[in-house]
Amino acid sequence: MSGLSTRERSAGAGGRASVTPFGESGDATPTGSPGAPLPPGIDLKRLAERPVVPLRHPVRWVITAVVLVLLLNFVQTLFTNPAWEWSKVGTWLFAPAILKGLQLTLVATAISAVVSFLGGIVVALGRISGNPVLSTLSWLYIWLFRSVPLILVLIFLFNLGNLYPTIGIGVPFGPQLELPTVTVLSSLALGVIGLSLSEIAYSAEVVRSGILAVDPGQHEAAKALGIPSRRQFTRIVLPQALRSIVPAYVNQIIGLLKASSLLFYVSLLDLFGVVQNLGSTYPTDIIPLLVVATIWYLVLTSVISVVQYYIERFYARGSVRVLPATPWQRFRGGVRQLSRRPAARPHESREVV
Amino acid sequence: MSAAIEIHNATKSYGDRTVLKGVDLTLAAGTVTVILGPSGSGKSTLLRAINHLEKLDEGYVAIGGELIGVTVRGDRLKERRERDILRQRARIGFVFQNFNLFPHLTVLENVVEAPIAQGVRAADARTRALALLTRVGLADKSGAYPRQLSGGQQQRVAIARALALDPDVLLFDEPTSALDPELVGEVLQVIRTLAGSGKTLVVVTHEIGFAREVADHVVFLDEGELLEQGPPGAVLSAPRHPRTRDFLDKVLA
Ligand SMILES: Nc1ncnc2c1ncn2[C@@H]1O[C@H](COP(=O)(O)OP(=O)(O)OP(=O)(O)O)[C@@H](O)[C@H]1O
Ligand SMILES: [Mg+2]
């Protein structure tokens, strides 16, 4: 209440009060611009009983109309311009070659997404840790792989056989276990490793920013309760960090999905690679093939976005008093309200859980 | 269970600023101690040193005869491993000024978290947690999330959480100063019921009335020095040190 009265007082002090004594400023405009006196003979008390007319937004309507007209013009060309060749799009969309490329894109993206998320957590923890060796190494890793373009990483990896004909592990300058590079790593594995190496650098920073966003009081409370360090992280800090990690990381995954098209340059046929190849075999079908690739990328991104919505909702538990309704709940609520319309009061707030 | 707290030569500096200047303090088992002092006098630092959330530069804290956070190594005190410190902290409950409940866990999950982490069976932890929530008057809120509760309710959950491991010692850092005035009473009431339960309570607070009524021992800190201590009747009604008198005049004004 006190807040309200303060606001009223300051509004009065600013000279914008609408209830000015009649005839004080002389030029009485009937529309009532700010500060203008009320026209005489108006019973404010009576007006106060009626709903206030909301402000109209004519410019918004004009912009909407212009955009709609442009959009409809474009949509029209989709039907009238024969170059789109929709029938060919239909046949290519589920062509076995395309589906195989799609599968490769999916597999490479999914594995890299998981690997780089886990790797990102490890590198982020390294950077945050008090151990100077670990944090310097983590910093160097991030610095290196954020600096080098992904395509360079991939091509480097595919020439690994030239650089290190065999790979092995062992005691430095001691006994070693060695295997030829080419047989150990298939080209898909190399592709996934390349994608992950570069992706880990980015996701480490995403994870780190999420961890930093958690209130330090949470670490303290967990410590004060004597919760073991690993559980402090997995049970208290990470779930809260995920709330800000998820949107940023999904962004990364979508970037990764499209970055996987670079695998084409190291002769792995992902969705984009297949389209590229088919395009040179069937030059007349280039446009429909590009449309097919676009459609599949759109589908994949849409699926990811829907999953993101629900993951975000899950990690929002406890951070808002009432979770917002899901689109489906909102839809059902809308249907219910329509069917009940005559009874529903306009300002009745519905509880959606 | 109860345990005496012994603090000897507690010394702590931040940079060239000394915030604890060799504090010596012995608190008998099962008593309630209130720590008073102006802002910045080192009350929180001293309290947090008791469960080793704050490391001392010199001196030690012992609870029930056991050194907290350090061990004797030769002729020096040496910091323990993090794992051992965490185990010691399970015997020491801590209640924060701004609650620090885990917002993504329900009230019940907040209370069972530490016992389950210590390996208590989930069903047992749950039974005990519900009993504790009943004790602080929040049994019906066990499924709620902290942000759905009022400040006073959140602080009562935080107290239940601190009690979940049945600690010997309970530390409160200004448990009511983040609360609206009308919610202070309900939290103080819960703390009052803990007095005489055998646990050793240490409370940093500006609630002089509470100190007078509940405390067995009152300690006055100023600029990192322990200026005065004694029973509330003495320290609060007839302070010997002018700075204690000054402070009480300001707080009670
Ligand atoms: N991490 C830190 N770095 C530097 N100075 C600090 C730090 N923590 C506390 N201090 C300083 O130490 C002094 C004592 O702080 P402390 O929090 O113990 O005071 P307090 O008595 O609890 O005060 P309040 O009543 O305001 O909570 C203060 O001057 C504070 O500025
Ligand atoms: Mg303090």
Identify the pLDDT of residue A170.
Answer: 75
Identify the pLDDT of residue B190.
Answer: 93
Summarised one tens digit per residue, pLDDT across range A144-177 is 999 999 999 999 888 877 777 777 777 777 777 7
Give the residue whose CA is nearest to atom 30 of ligand 1. B40
For the cut 50, the answer to whether the pLDDT of residue A93 exceeds it is: yes
Which of A161-175, A293-307, B17-31, B56-70 has the least mean pLDDT? A161-175
| In a shared domain, residues B173 and B117 | no
Q: How many CB atoms lie within 10 A of CB A63?
A: 11
H-state helical runs in chain A: 2-13, 44-47, 58-80, 86-93, 96-128, 132-147, 150-158, 160-163, 181-184, 187-212, 216-224, 229-231, 238-259, 271-281, 286-315, 327-339
Residue B190: inside a domain? no
Residue A154: inside a domain? yes
| In a shared domain, residues B106 and B127 | yes
| In a shared domain, residues B100 and B216 | no
For the cut 90, the answer to whether the pLDDT of residue A335 exceeds it is: no
| In a shared domain, residues B23 and B45 | yes
DSSP A264: G
Residue A270: inside a domain? yes
Kindly give the distance from the C-alpha atom of residue B174 to the centroid of ligand 2, in angstroms, as a whole number: 7
Radius of gyration in angstroms for the set of CA atoms belonging to chain A, rounded to a whole number: 31
Bridge-partner residues for A302, per DSSP? none
Of the pLDDT bands very low, low, confident and very high (cuts 50, 70, 90), residue A1 is very low
Average pLDDT over residues B64-83: 94
Ligand 1 atom nearest the C-alpha of B46 is: 18
Q: Catalogue the E-assigned strands of chain B.
A: 5-14, 17-27, 32-36, 58-63, 66-67, 70-73, 76-79, 92-95, 169-173, 200-204, 217-222, 225-230
Mean pLDDT taken over chain A: 83
Q: Please give the Cα distance from A195 to A205 (Å, whole number).
A: 16
Residue A155 structural domain: 84-167+178-316
Q: Please give the Cα distance from B97 to B206 (Å, whole number).
A: 12
Residue B186: inside a domain? no
Mention every residue, 6+ apart, whose C-beta is less than 8 A from residue A303. none
For the cut 60, the answer to whether the pLDDT of residue B242 exceeds it is: yes
Summarised one tens digit per residue, pLDDT across range B91-124 is 999 999 999 999 999 999 999 999 999 999 999 9
The total number of structural domains in chain B stands at: 2
Q: Please give the Cα distance from A262 to A242 (Å, whole number).
A: 29
Summarised one tens digit per residue, pLDDT across range A54-64 is 888 999 999 99
Taking an 8 Å cut-off on Cβ atoms, the answer to whether A239 and B104 are in contact is yes
Q: Report the sign of the C-alpha dihedral through residues A90, A96, A97, A100, in that order.
A: positive
Q: Which of B53, B98, B100, B169 to mutate to test the interface with A (most CBs of A within 10 A)?
A: B100
Would you state the structure tokens that stand for residue B103, as one six-digit string? 């917002």
Give the residue whose CA is nearest to atom 18 of ligand 1. B42
Residue B203: inside a domain? yes
Of the pLDDT bands very low, low, confident and very high (cuts 50, 70, 90), residue A22 is very low
CATH number of the domain that residue A109 is part of: 1.10.3720.10
Average pLDDT over residues B202-230: 95
CB A293 within 8 A of CB A275: yes
Summarised one tens digit per residue, pLDDT across range A182-212 is 666 788 888 999 999 999 999 999 999 999 9
Of the pLDDT bands very low, low, confident and very high (cuts 50, 70, 90), residue A341 is low
Q: Please give the Cα distance from B157 to B163 (Å, whole number).
A: 10
Average pLDDT over residues B216-233: 95
Residue A201: inside a domain? yes
Kindly give the distance from the C-alpha atom of residue B204 to the centroid of ligand 2, in angstroms, as a whole number: 8
Of the pLDDT bands very low, low, confident and very high (cuts 50, 70, 90), residue A44 is confident
DSSP A174: S
For the cut 70, the answer to whether the pLDDT of residue A350 exceeds it is: no
Pocket test for ligand 1, best of B35, B45, B251 (most atoms within 8 A of CB): B45
| Rounded (10°) angle between helices B122-135 and B151-163 | 130
Residue B32 structural domain: 1-88+169-181+197-253
For the cut 70, the answer to whether the pLDDT of residue A348 exceeds it is: no
| In a shared domain, residues B221 and B250 | yes
Of the pLDDT bands very low, low, confident and very high (cuts 50, 70, 90), residue A34 is low
| ipTM at complex level | 0.93
Would you state the structure tokens that stand for residue B163, as one six-digit string? 């009690």
What is residue B203's three-state secondary structure?
A: strand
Residue whose pair of structure tokens reads 């630092």 in the numeric block: B45
For the cut 60, the answer to whether the pLDDT of residue A5 exceeds it is: no
Residue A333: inside a domain? no
**Cα separation values, A274 from A110, A154, A155, A192, B19, Å:** 19, 18, 19, 18, 69
Q: Please give the Cα distance from B56 to B64 (Å, whole number).
A: 19
For the cut 50, the answer to whether the pLDDT of residue A21 exceeds it is: no
Average pLDDT over residues B22-50: 95
Instruction: Choose the closest CB to B147 out of A225, A315, A321.
Output: A321
Identify the pLDDT of residue A296.
Answer: 95
Nearest bound ligand to the CA of residue B55? 1
Diameter of chain A by CA atoms? 103
| In a shared domain, residues B139 and B153 | yes
